[in-house]
A and B are shown apart, each in its own frame.
Chain A
Amino acid sequence: MKIQTNHKNLEARDLSIRYLLLRFPPRVVLFTKRTRAMSSEDTEKTTTSKKSAFDAETASLLVKELRGAFGSGKTRSYQWRVSQLNALMKLVVDREQEIVDALRNDLAKPPLETVAYEIAMLKNSCKVALKELKHWMIPEKVKTSIATFPSSAEIVSEPLGVVLVISAWNYPFLLSLDPVIGAIAAGNAVVLKPSEISPATSSLLAKLLGDYLDISCIRVVEGGVDETSALLQQKWDKIFYTGNGRVARVVMAAAAKHLTPVLLELGGKSPVVVDSNINLKVATRRLIAGKWGCNNGQACISPDYVITTKDCAPKLVDALKTELEKFYGKNPLESKDLSRIVNSNHFNRLTKLLDDDKVSGKIVYGGEKDESLLKISPTVLLDVPRDSLIMSEEIFGPLLPILTVDKVEESFDVINSGPKPLAAYIFTSNKKLKEQFVTNISAGGVVVNDTSLHLAVHSLPFGGVGESGVGAYHGKFSFDAFSHKKAVLYRSFFGDAAIRYPPYTNTKMRLLKALIGGGILGIIRALFGWS
């Protein structure tokens, strides 16, 4: 069954989506407790510090205030955490339209993408946290060994304190609030610094968080480099950063001064290996959905480039052409199903990649641009040289270079010769190749026969390795990322072994060895030993 689209339908469809979302309003979600009633005076007190200059001193006062709030013990209670998570859930449900609009403003993001990838993911994060929080908060009892007998022990998760979350512009809603969910679930006070490159979402977040959440413990600071620097000068108990490697280094260097642990969610060139003897149609559609269907290639786990054999390449290119046209029509620049490029900086960056001499002749599909609308059409390039600009940095856009090799196994060397990416993908039916890929390719996450979807599995840690980042989150991993795992050992006064104490005799030495060696007789003698 073919789905035909043309220009007329596109316009109508856009209106109809909005119409739909208005006609079928989202369900109302009940929540149990609101932490505070907002008075009009409170609304006056800005939760953002956009108006006055946000300098190091302001930042320092902010941190001091939050430390006081944290010190009061408020954020530690289960009730507080649940109330905030419920409030976030309500925020997402009540204000869906505004969120969709903000993302359309910032990125021309298709409403369906916003609903599916930002709102739905966020709601799920909240749901998982709400459902599991009681479990997560219970101290984990652990077994103790002969070495500490008699004793009992447990691991207690405690909040780190006051944490900073710096998020990115490409999924500005999700990447701001998903870490915040983890921080709140773990009982911390949080400052969120959304990206200034997605300004509509940034100011919406400032407003909504101020309206719905407990502003004595959760704050939003909007701004750019100056404000971020002011924040980074302060002492935080953890910094969670999503973005690129360059700024990550700035964040880590600032953190080093205060010995602050960091979690860095970065990116890289996520490769896609395409083998022969596969269902090419399905593979291509999944590839397209993961690349252009996710913010038009501007995602940290976007398939960045493809490696396939010289034999497969022409078939792959044909399949891509066919499916891309089905998805986005003959004039993709006009398709409402594609995000635009976020700003002119990135537009120029991507244009430069295409204009590169080594590469401009390799375009086999697309390559159209509209600078006024900041749009670039889905573009496929074949056989670009390995040393071209497009192959040396993360593309983060709708350009898909295809590299060809003689044998598919050679792709592994190509991938391993570069920095470790955040994700790696392979399409193959060959079981052995699958296992080799999983074992030998080092990446944050690996998906076989699909793209991007590991993001949605909350029982999997989502994070990078090497240049693609440090640490992981999602689900319980988020809770753990913002917790300190405190070891607690309970000993009694009974069961005191004299061998522990000086004066040290030879006998004691023997007993000690027996104790550690674990011989049962030795243990018994040692425990109820001599004085």
Chain B
Amino acid sequence: MMERDLNDLRESYESGKTKEASWRESQLKGLRRFLMDKQQDIMQALMQDLGKHQIEAFRDEIGTLIKTLNLALKSLKDWMSSKKAALPQLALLTSAEIVPQPLGVVLIISSWNFPIGLSLEPLIGAVAAGNAAVLKPSELSPACSSLLASSLTTYLDNKGIKVMEGGAEESQQLLEQRWDKIFFTGSARVGRIVMSAAVKHLTPVTLELGGKCPAVVDSLSSSWDIEVTVKRIIVAKYGTCAGQACIAIDYVLVEKGYCSKLVQLIKLYINKMFGDNPQKSKTISRIVNKHHFSRLKNLLADEKVKESVIYGGSMDQDNLFIEPTILVDPPLEAAVMSEEIFGPLLPIITLEKIEDSIKFINCRPKPLALYVFTKNQTLQRRMISETSSGSVTFNDAILQYAADTLPFGGVGESGFGMYHGKFSFDTFSHHKAVVRRSFLTDFWYRYPPWTLNKLQLLQVSYNYDYLGLLLVLLGLKRPSKHVISGHM
């Protein structure tokens, strides 16, 4: 079955259909119609899989996708056009350009936490770039997965784009096939498996992974500033899929002296935003499944870690709900500070000086995002130049996901490759170098035999400018009159 589907896709691609601008446009429009028509169904599926609130669903998935689609449709012609390349030295009757071309048949494997967003955002890039594609949504978000498999496909060309559902076994089978590109969003552990599988066919991969994204909070003096900071932190943690996001704030770094103020405000605003009983407010997503629930529960099992919990901590196993939880200075060797949390637990680590956060961050694997809340420009500059992360955002969080002009991707353990906006188109393209020449210009000195005369003349003429010599040899530059007349 899979083989037949893959043959369909390859045939579609080889027929040249997917390269046509009209096909790409029709697919992008189909995707947009799906998002508009099926909004309710999508929101329902997200509620089912993750208990995700409609606003989150719209803000983080549907809305951003529509924004991307509008951009792609508007820019498609521009993205598809060849770009002239500068020809440095005079190159006779030669033109050079870079022609973007699709890679072929690509595989997109997405994750369960933003099951619609993380599936379709790469797909938009793949389609805009003219590829045929297979989308393998995560089985851990089954309602969304089957919505994509059954409903999305009615809006698209099924011979060019397919959705294949399944778990580890199906993924393994898919990974054994020949792809022209694999785009993977998920954990580093599975990222290694994907890249290892790609070795067989030397398939290029993009890996969007995760990490512990820190939020550095400076001792802000203005109460307006710190309140906005706290609100943004809360939304970036508990208000984004309950912290189950690759760019969610994982932990906070703050100066000792400022910690109690920060904690006090966080508690205050959690209450304002979610009420006395956050679970009842139905605003916060639930934990995706029992496995992750147990994992998060175990993070708090350690005695010392338990002691550091100063707010929240209650867990409802039946409903897979964990309330917003704050920890202050848990032991750094504990799992909660060494693994990506991916849940609504927020450790706050105190430091002597806020500048110590640079060293703290650098001792750990490079995260996908770094957040810094400060007005101190020196600190801002230091953060950019002395730490490494996929991205840096000042005085806000998560929002960088919505910026089309910024590349979205990791570095080191948080992945490699990037997408969003035109970067998506580029990531699914091959940029082919094309040079054209005419027959009219050709010079004898390009060719052996290398007589003394030839070499001498060239040497003298070019005054040992070997680049000039090279260009003459390649016929890209006319030798000086001196040379020609000298030889004649």
Contact = CB atoms under 8 A, between A and B. Distances in A.
Interface in B474-488: 474-476, 488
B390 to A, nearest CB: 7
Interface stretch (A35-43, A304-312, A498-506): A498-506
B360 interface: no
B402 A147 contact: yes
A523 interface: no
Contacts of B168: none
A327 B98 contact: no
Given A288-B447, A328-B449, A259 B402 contact: no
A249 B200 contact: yes
B435 A450 contact: yes
B459 A24 contact: yes
Interface string A281-317: 0110110110001000000000000000000000000
A158 B470 contact: no
Contact of A466 (B59, B180, B191, B416): B180
Interface string B222-251: 101100110110110001000000000000
A492 B232 CA distance: 12
A456 interface: yes
Contacts of A442: 101, 430, 432
B53 A472 contact: no
Interface string B440-457: 001010111111100110
Contacts of A470: 202, 204
A453 B476 contact: yes
A444 B283 contact: no
Question: What is the interface of chain B mostly: helix, strand, loop, or mixed?
Answer: mixed
Contact of B403 (A24, A27, A283, A487): A487
Interface in B379-412: 380, 384-386, 388-396, 399-400, 402-409, 411-412
Contacts of B362: 71
Given A249-B202, A496-B228, A487 B474 contact: no
Measured as residues with beta carbon below 8 angstroms from the partner, the interface class of chain B is 35 or more
Interface string A490-531: 111100100011111000110011001100000000000000
B448 A337 contact: yes
B198 interface: yes
Nearest to B388: A158
Interface string B185-225: 00010011001101110101001010000000000001011
B99 A264 contact: no
A65 B433 CA distance: 38
Contacts of B469: 115-116, 120
Nearest to A115: B466
A289 B447 contact: yes
B433 A461 contact: yes
B311 interface: no
Contacts of B234: 501
Contact of A504 (B54, B67, B392, B399): B54
24 contacts: A5-B451, A144-B403, A147-B403, A252-B202, A256-B195, A257-B192, A279-B439, A282-B442, A285-B442, A285-B446, A446-B435, A449-B436, A458-B88, A460-B96, A487-B392, A487-B400, A488-B393, A493-B222, A500-B232, A509-B58, A512-B59, A513-B58, A513-B63, A516-B66
Interface of A: 1, 3, 5, 9-10, 12-13, 16-17, 20, 24, 26-27, 71, 73, 76, 110, 112, 115-117, 119-121, 123-124, 127-128, 142-145, 147-148, 151, 153, 155-156, 158, 160-161, 237, 245, 248-249, 252-253, 255-257, 259, 261, 264, 266, 278-279, 282-283, 285-286, 288-289, 293, 326-329, 335, 337, 429, 434, 438-440, 442-450, 452-454, 456-462, 465-467, 469-472, 484-493, 496, 500-504, 508-509, 512-513, 516-517
